[in-house]
Amino acid sequence: MQPAASTIYLAPEGFLPELLVELGDASVIADRLVEARGPARPVAWAQNVWLEPQRIPIASITDAAHKLKALQRNWALWSTTLHRRAALIAAALPKVSSRPLAFPAAPPTSPLGSWTLGDERTLIAAPRSTSPFVHGEPRFIEDKVAPPNRAYLKLWEALTSLGVHPRPGERCVDLGASPGGWTWVVATLGAEVLAVDRAPLAPNVSAMPGVTFEQRDAFALTPESVGQVDWLFCDVIAFPEKSYELVSAWLASGRARRIVCSVKFKGETDMRVVERFKALPGGSLRHLFHNKHELTFMATRS
């Protein structure tokens, strides 16, 4: 059984057309699973990527479970057809824990494979996938009291993906901060944060230690006026081109060690802007599980 010369991509719910445009030469296997020739590509509109998938003939449910376990231990089923047969195979495999993560705990480190049934006699299985979470869906133990909105989950996911987060003594800027979901995250981690927005922060966030608020246009704040920062965060509601200009300016200035910026779309997705963000040096662009019609750009400077 040789690895197929292809890669399988799981599109985020509602964004299969964007993934197909981004890949250009892919075909839908089933549901949100898309296959494209060659090794994995740096795509933005993928929730998870199955690496070196194999098509494996199977004689029975027991045979299927045996062949999967021979490849590795941990498997996540993406069921698109023959659901009962797939469920019986999954039941014969070791159980994979899907307990919510207590941020800022590290994500799982064990390799996680993904599989589905191509037909009654064929497994489609990839022993490795890019996300350590089942189907690229990180779940967290949520705080339903303190954060002023659910935007904090996007930042938790982004920081978990980066494998690093703000620490006490670090200087951070949060553009488009109101009502304060991202500022709340940074402040709970003990870092200093300058929050900027035309609208005010939620009172409980504004009162947190380490939080300084400026009520002004976030785009009027230049890297030169702020100086060196450890983190630049931006969840501002703006046209994607405007966010691109902001990120480009900060990257060119060299004044931010790390950048996390939302790229929000309204109406039709502008794929040209997506490609421009993907071309920025030292960064990555991806659709987070907690994103809506938006992507998240992340960059780290040595």
Residues 6 or more apart from 220 whose CB is under 8 A from it?
Answer: none
Kindly name the residue from 264, 266, 278, 292 that is annotated as catalytic. 264
Nearest by Cα to 53 from 130, 160, 162: 130
Contact 9, 23 (CB under 8 A): yes
Q: How many CB atoms lie within 10 A of CB 120?
A: 9
264 is annotated as an active-site residue: yes
Exposure string over 189-207, b if 16+ CB within 10 A, otherwise e: bebbbbbbbeeebbeebbe
Decide the pairing of beta strands 192-197 and 211-215: parallel
Contact 297, 261 (CB under 8 A): yes
Contact 195, 222 (CB under 8 A): no
Q: For 155, phi and psi rounded to 5 degrees?
A: -70, -40
Tokens of 297: 């750009």
Residues 6 or more apart from 173 whose CB is under 8 A from it?
Answer: 193, 194, 196, 221, 226, 229, 231, 232, 233, 256
By annotation, the residues acting in catalysis are: 264
